[in-house]
């Protein structure tokens, strides 16, 4: 394989809130290769956005390393980061609030070009618009004159216009309708193919992930609990949390009757973290082993899970 475009090593991000420390991201490592779409899934508060914000350096990581395109950007200042931003873009979660309400579409799209000293004549902007399937007469509009889907496409155009190599998409479809969502996903796929970008696609909607991505990272309480190719993880989840997550999703098919794996209780607070598995208080299969740090067990090629149930029964074979 080629060099990864992004390498995240032991990333930690803590927030201080009064006397408390919020353990938003705890020791996360992964790589993203050019042209691939990696999904990050997990429930609300699991640290997905925080991780993404660290990667594009909207936050300063507490510990760990972020290497983008071979350059360690972990400790870059805002000024040092600026050149890198051309290649490292983000599409934001909230379609409505990620566009400056006072700027016209033209201005929104022109700004990144100007900032990075790129050619910013009309053809560039029109080209970008065309890619996201908007037309010229949207140029003069302000965000409030656009529908939700259109706004999201403007946001995508803004991220893509500098032809970045890597784009973080933080739940780009969360606030969209089903049909819009599908359109958007298809558009993203086209763009990716066309521009050969790598995606880090954050979502808690697993069905969209299945539709768009190559690999998936499952996060819980700021840790990756399972990772692997989408088919592997979704069809053969090994971590109890992944299993619960998948089984909780209603399937629009009345003919299917599933046995649901219900977790008891709720996600614990990120203020204090217990060592070991994050799910230890909710898991029906919990054992003493879960209360000490658990390594990743390899399930298959590229598929790992941090759960004792995924532990390969090697020892027994030896005996």
Ligand X SMILES: Nc1ncnc2c1ncn2[C@@H]1O[C@H](COP(=O)(O)OP(=O)(O)OP(=O)(O)O)[C@@H](O)[C@H]1O
22 binds, among other proteins, Mg ion, ligand X, none (CB under 5 to 8 A by kind): ligand X
Backbone angles phi, psi at 12, to 5 degrees: -130, 135
Residue 192 contacts other proteins per CB under 8 A: no
Angstrom distance (rounded) from CA 26 to CA 38: 19
* Distance, CA of 288 to chain centre: 32
Angstrom distance (rounded) from CA 90 to CA 199: 9
Residue 245 contacts other proteins per CB under 8 A: yes
Choice between 157 and 176, CB closer to ligand X: 176
List the Cα angle 38/210/177 in 5-degree steps.
105
List the Cα angle 294/312/287 in 5-degree steps.
45
Q: Hey, what are 74's tokens?
A: 């972990």
List 121, 135, 266, 301, residue binding other proteins (CB under 8 A): 266
List 5, 8, 11, 24, residue binding ligand X (CB under 6 A): 24
Q: Are 211 and 34 in contact (CB under 8 A)?
A: no
Among the listed ranges 41-49, 138-146, 151-159, 308-316, the one in contact with ligand X (CB under 6 A) is 41-49
Among the listed ranges 62-70, 128-136, 255-263, 283-291, the one in contact with other proteins (CB under 8 A) is 255-263
Q: Hey, what are 122's tokens?
A: 């009309």
List 44, 119, 123, 179, residue binding ligand X (CB under 6 A): 44
Residue 228 contacts ligand X per CB under 6 A: no
Burial of 254 (0-12, 13-18, 19+ CB in 10 A): exposed
Residue 142 contacts other proteins per CB under 8 A: no
Residue 94 contacts other proteins per CB under 8 A: yes
Residue 173 contacts ligand X per CB under 6 A: no
Choice between 246 and 273, CB closer to other proteins: 246
Give the per-residue contact string, 149-188, with other proteins (x = CB under 8 A; - = no): ------x--x---x--------------xxx-xx--xx--
């Amino acid at each position: 394989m080629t060099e990864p475009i992004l390498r995240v090593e032991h990333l930690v991000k803590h927030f201080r809130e009064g006397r408390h420390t919020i353990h938003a991201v705890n020791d996360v490592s992964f790589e993203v290769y050019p042209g691939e779409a990696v999904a990050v899934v997990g429930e609300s508060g699991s640290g997905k956005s925080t991780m993404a914000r660290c990667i594009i350096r909207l936050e300063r990581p507490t510990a760990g390393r972020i290497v983008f395109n071979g350059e360690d950007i972990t400790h870059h200042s805002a000024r040092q980061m600026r050149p890198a931003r051309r290649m490292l873009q983000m599409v934001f979660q909230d379609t409505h609030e990620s566009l400056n309400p006072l700027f016209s579409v033209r201005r929104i799209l022109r700004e990144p070009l100007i900032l990075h000293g790129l050619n910013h004549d009309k053809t560039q902007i029109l080209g970008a618009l065309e890619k996201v399937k908007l037309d010229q007469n949207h140029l003069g509009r302000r965000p409030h004159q656009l529908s939700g889907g259109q706004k999201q496409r403007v946001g995508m155009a803004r991220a893509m216009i500098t032809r970045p190599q890597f784009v973080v998409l933080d739940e780009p479809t969360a606030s969209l309708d089903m049909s819009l969502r599908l359109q958007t996903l298809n558009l993203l796929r086209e763009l990716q193919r066309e521009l050969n970008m790598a995606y880090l696609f954050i979502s808690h909607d697993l069905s969209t992930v299945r539709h768009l991505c190559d690999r998936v990272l499952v996060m819980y309480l700021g840790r990756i609990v399972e990772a692997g190719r989408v088919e592997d993880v979704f069809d053969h989840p090994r971590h109890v949390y992944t299993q619960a997550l998948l089984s909780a999703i209603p399937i629009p098919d009345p003919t299917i009757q599933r046995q649901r794996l219900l977790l008891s209780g709720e996600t614990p607070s990120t203020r204090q973290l217990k060592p070991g598995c994050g799910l230890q208080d909710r898991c029906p299969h919990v054992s003493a082993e879960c209360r000490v740090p658990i390594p990743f067990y390899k399930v298959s090629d590229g598929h790992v899970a941090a759960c004792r149930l995924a532990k390969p029964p090697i020892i027994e074979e030896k005996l």
